[in-house]
Chains A and B, each alone.
Chain A
């Protein structure tokens, strides 16, 4: 096992993915891309759970990942449905043009 990747590397990658996701949410104007960035954040957490679960020798980390994948799938279904519904009424989904409700 001397060639095994140390847990810190996984956590670092996870942190990088998380930051990419946050940066994308902050800068992108297309809701589908924003949503993909949120999924990246969820997967960053997934990676962390799996790596930590291995580190602790605890199967919980992997089971949590399964639960989170199911949650993410539900989130996709609802998010895309909302985006389709918005496109049907507005014929655009750009977030800058979603301005009927003043901020």
Chain B
């Protein structure tokens, strides 16, 4: 095979990333035209087209060429990547829809927002596609840079600036810790390519002090990104301070990218599970307990969703822990594959419910009111039934009530960890899920049973302005999330051809 064909093969393997870069570049170059006047209506459609275009390219490309390594082993395309990328780009598209309405109603819309979103998505894709720890690091940074900027996008709002600063400092710290871990890995394996790391681990690299430090620093860095206890302190502040549309985006993108990378890294170092499996199990159990406990005390819905995100990080870490069972007999291998598929489905269900929930908050926000607290949701089922019951559905899905996508995701991870024979993790997962139902149902209570604090919208006056917005982006996003949450809850097999991870 000649060099040009190889180059074309490499580039077609990262075609979704190239599409994202291309559209982001168009938005950035066209920014002067898109900023005001008639062009300002085009920025969001361009951003949505970028995410959707990358999704279509991904779906077309995933039928040929599985498990290929690209760029001399720097990146790869496999089913873990393609299913993770499917979830990520779908979440990115829905986030553009939410942003379109929210930014406009809050007077924050600038074309750069969408360009940064697309660049951030490309970083997450690179991270999931990485076959080399340095490429993983570059993808992580490309993703995070965009997220820092989006968190601080409301530049005149002190809370948004503060959120950006906290996210940036802790994110940069996590990246530095992880980079040091990669350097130490290079020291023990003489290479950062995952296949070489795997063979170094098989030779016992994780028994040396340097290898142990490397594995733990990698785990800590990734745990920061997914906000697992005890590395979660940034998340409630960032979720609350960032503009709601940015919160929806960064909550889902960072979690999807980091969890898929986490699965890949732990799958690679499965041979040295003695070193890292106890740490992951402890972090998972702590996250599930602490996240659910603190979420109970929250009255701000964004903060509550942040702590519930910590708990969800714990559930997802249960799936990551299953990677450690891969070399423990056939049951263990089966558990690790089940856990990969389960984690991706879980991420899809989580992204749909979370973007939907933040979408509802965005829907209720206007120029002078940013809906954030339980009081803002009071009596929503009677004042705006469609949005109110959509929010109820998202809460039920996050809680993992049967007939929603959230239940299927949780069940798949639960089944995987039981197959792996780790009863302690499975029991903690079941008990803490039951604990979580309390605070999700409290939101439902506020929506359905509490009286609305504000007077009912009259045909004339303030109530009117909420109506036409149903037709804009956020209405579409909420509708898609609703249909997908119920659809996947009843017929999870409908999507399994995209989401099944094959090893």
A75 to B256, CA, bound (A): 22
Report 5 cross-chain contacts, Cβ distance below 8 Å, ordered by A residue: A45-B176, A81-B149, A89-B161, A100-B159, A101-B241
The answer to whether A58 touches B190 (Cβ under 8 A) is yes
The answer to whether B158 touches A82 (Cβ under 8 A) is no
Q: Give the number of chain A interface residues (Cβ < 8 Å).
A: 41
| CB contact list, A12-52 vs B, under 8 A | 14, 18, 21, 25, 31, 34-35, 38, 41-42, 44-45, 48-49, 52
Among residues of A, the one whose C-beta sits closest to the C-beta of B174 is: A38
Candidates A25, A68, A79, A82; contact of B161 at CB < 8 Å? A82
A98 to chain B, nearest CB (A): 5
**Binary flags per residue of B131-175, CB closer than 8 Å to A gives 1, else 0:** 000100110010001001100100111110111111011001101
Candidates B157, B168, B184, B190; contact of A89 at CB < 8 Å? B157
| CB contact list, A67-103 vs B, under 8 A | 67-68, 71, 74-75, 78-79, 81-83, 85-86, 88-90, 93, 98, 100-101, 103
The answer to whether A103 touches B173 (Cβ under 8 A) is no
Contacts of A38 in B (CB 8 A): 169, 172-173, 176
Number of A-B residue pairs at CB separation under 8 A? 113
The answer to whether A89 touches B158 (Cβ under 8 A) is yes
Candidates B161, B190, B236, B241; contact of A56 at CB < 8 Å? B190
- Interface SS of B by simple majority: helix
Contacts of A82 in B (CB 8 A): 148, 152, 161, 164-165, 168
Top 6 A-B residue pairs of the complex, sorted by shortest distance between their CB atoms: A41-B176, A101-B237, A86-B161, A48-B183, A89-B158, A45-B183
A21 to chain B, nearest CB (A): 7
Candidates A11, A79, A93, A100; contact of B168 at CB < 8 Å? A79
Known: A67-B138, A82-B161, A83-B165; 14 extra A-B contacts, CB below 8 A, are A14-B183, A38-B169, A48-B183, A52-B186, A58-B190, A67-B134, A75-B145, A81-B149, A85-B152, A90-B158, A98-B165, A101-B159, A101-B241, A103-B236
The answer to whether A49 touches B141 (Cβ under 8 A) is no
Candidates A41, A48, A56, A85; contact of B184 at CB < 8 Å? A48
A79 to chain B, nearest CB (A): 6
A41 to B179, CA, bound (A): 9
Candidates A31, A49, A93, A101; contact of B186 at CB < 8 Å? A49
Contacts of A71 in B (CB 8 A): 137-138, 141
Most A Cβ at <10 Å: residue of B180, B183, B191: B183
Among residues of B, the one whose C-beta sits closest to the C-beta of A64 is: B134
Contacts of B138 in A (CB 8 A): 67, 71
A14 to B176, CA, bound (A): 13
The answer to whether A21 touches B176 (Cβ under 8 A) is yes
Most A Cβ at <10 Å: residue of B137, B168, B192: B168
